[in-house]
Amino acid sequence: MASVRQVQVTFDCAEPERVARFWCEVLGYVVPPPPEGFATWDDFDRALPPEHQGSAFACVDPSGVGPRLFFQRVPEGKVVKNRVHLDVRVGRGLVGDERLAALEAECARLVGLGAARVRLLRADGVNESCLVMQDIEGNEFCLD
């Protein structure tokens, strides 16, 4: 049985580049270089048939450790809760008020980028506190 070497997380969205650039800011990811023969992603995009222009975008962890994030345009809007979501790990190793302060500080930064705060899930004796949020197209994620 072959082992998995890499994982890519794919988002369905209306505006791939806009959502990808949001996640670059959230995670410290970068846009990879354009394909060989193109000076920019805009040049590459203009070379595609009109119906494919703006249909996809990606971002990567500059350290090469995290998964590649791929964003693809789909015609339908988001209607229900995500079945899979990202946990942005900003409170690792922190508990109580120190953890809440770290979550709130990151929440404020992300709201400034266009994210929306949904609700705070307080520590319950089993799980530590986390904040449920939505990205700029309404995809849920957690600050954990």
Provide DSSP, the chain.
-PPP---EEEEEES-HHHHHHHHHHHHT-BPPPPPTT-SSHHHHHHTS-GGGTTSEEEEB-TTS-SPEEEEEE-SSPP-S--SS-EEE--STT--HHHHHHHHHHHHHHHHHTT-EEEEEE---SSS--EEEEE-TTS-EEEE-
Q: Dump pLDDT digits (tens) for 95-122.
A: 999 999 999 999 999 999 999 999 999 9
Mean pLDDT of 14-20: 96
Q: Dump pLDDT digits (tens) for 25-70.
A: 999 999 999 999 999 999 999 999 999 999 999 999 999 999 999 9
Residue 2 has pLDDT above 80, yes or no: no
Residue 3 has pLDDT above 90, yes or no: no
Residue 1 has pLDDT above 70, yes or no: no
